[in-house]
Chain A
Amino acid sequence: MCVLCGQDFVAQVHWTDRHIEDRARASGPGDPVEYQRDRRRDRGHRTALTNEVLRHYGLRVEDWGGSKYVLRDGKGRTELVQHLGALWPAAAKLAGTTLDPLDTDFIEALSAAHKDHGR
């Protein structure tokens, strides 16, 4: 990591981040502004959806300058993560439990939340 800007030199592109990169590459040297807008929108959408899951564990995630994500718990502890692959272990550390999408309590909570939302 660069000590001045906090960016990783060789960032491993996580598989969930691939499509934005691929789309940019496929369309050739397009408009960099549009690419950034596309990327920001994608990150915003991901942050919102991820928070739907994280709130059942008392956690929140925010986009951090378009390069990383900041994960926070209710006590103000934070973790900086690069992508979804790194988010879940960090969330487990803060929550003190593994976030398991097959966990029946979690499934119940998520389903109930969506039912309330639907009303």
Chain B
Amino acid sequence: MTVVTGFLGSGKTTLLGKVLSEPSMANTAVLVNEFGEVGLDHHLLRRVDERTVLLGSGCVCCTTREDLVGALLELLGLDERGEIPRLDRVVIETTGLADPAPILYTIFTDPVLQHHFSVDLVLTTVDAVNGGLHLDRNPESLKQAAAADKIIVTKTDIAEPDSVRNLLSRLGKINPSAPILEAAFGDVDVDEIFRPGEPGAHAVTGSVLSEPDHLHDVGDTYSVSVTFDGAIDWTAFGIWFSMLLHARGEDVLRVKGLLDVGEAGPVVINGVQHIIHPPGHLDGWPDEDRRSRIVFITKRISPEEILGSLEAFRELLGARPVPLGTEHSVSLP
């Protein structure tokens, strides 16, 4: 299952139209929030109204999208009864103002859906012309950029080269874990988009762009990449991280990485706010580098706080945290 999110008018539907015309995407069902002006011609198109049910705990990201549950169960029924061609993939297009976390929460926690669907990719489209403005003004935009596994910058053909460059650099700072693809006229390499990257291969680049330039200001959002000087205790990490999510979950926009837990392969950790993908234990490392690498994208939590807390937990974790590269936000005068 792929979640496509993106700011208003950033070209989600254009992108989907292009993607769905590929023969390899024939057995894909699409759930959209609204039928846009760009008509999508697809036999498995369903419209869902955003209906969210706020659970007792009251935090916004842990809400269930009842509309999605209904639509996905219906698709599942059709597939199982053989009334539609075999279903390979479901693409969910969100509205421009949607926070992607509830969609993930819905799929991971629904008693039926969690056994039939998994989310392999969150795509976020950002338009090169207005993207910067959206990031400045809409907290949702920031959440969408942070939640992305891949970011697609659209309309690069009609934007100023300078503003494209600034936007790319800024997105790289907000979410260093997501590869950024450019798409002019919705023209993208479908294979490249849907090819699931090597798990965590892009998790941390180590040398993140570091021009001390106020143009790259990302407000009170920080990202920090951390490694450890040895294998860590997975149970201890679980204790630290679940405690952090309990206390500051809404400020932890994104966590992604590979952790060396002293086994043959690493543990893949991927989380959006309170919502943690079921961590996968891999049989082997994707490349030569066998160090843990994990990136935290946070709001109002500085890299020093994360590192200081991990340092205090080092006895329990069994290894000491080492920053790979920190990004500081610069306040505008």
Contact = CB atoms under 8 A, between A and B. Distances in A.
Do chains A and B stick together as partners?
yes
Interface of A: 10, 12-16, 18-19, 22-23, 42, 45-46, 49-50, 52-53, 84-85, 87-89, 92, 98-103, 106-107, 110-111, 114, 117-118
Instruction: Give 6 nearest A-B pairs by CB, closest first.
Output: A88-B246, A16-B238, A100-B247, A114-B315, A107-B312, A84-B242
A47 B175 CA distance: 34
Contacts, number: 90
Given A10-B111, A110-B312, A117-B315, A101 B240 contact: yes
B248 interface: yes
B276 interface: yes
B279 interface: yes
Contacts of B166: none
Contact of B305 (A10, A84, A102, A117): A102
A88 B233 contact: no
B279 A107 contact: no
Given A49-B236, A84-B239, A102-B309, A15 B276 contact: yes
A23 B243 CA distance: 24
Contact of A49 (B239, B246, B280): B239
A89 B312 contact: no
Q: Is the interface of A mostly helix, strand, loop or mixed?
A: helix
Contacts of B277: 15
Given A16-B239, A102-B309, 7 more contacts: A13-B278, A46-B238, A53-B316, A87-B242, A101-B309, A102-B244, A110-B312
B262 to A, nearest CB: 12
6 contacts: A15-B238, A45-B235, A50-B239, A52-B316, A98-B247, A101-B312
B234 interface: yes
Contacts of A98: 246-247
B239 A102 contact: no
A42 B235 contact: yes
A114 B308 CA distance: 15
B281 interface: yes
Interface centre among A45, A88, A101 (most CB of B within 10 A): A101
A19 B279 contact: yes
B261 to A, nearest CB: 9
Given A19-B267, A102-B301, A53 B278 contact: no
Contact of A22 (B248, B281, B305, B314): B281
A102 B247 CA distance: 9
B109 interface: yes
A85 B235 contact: no
Contacts of B235: 16, 42, 45-46, 49
Contacts of B314: 114
A15 B278 contact: yes
Contacts of B248: 100, 102
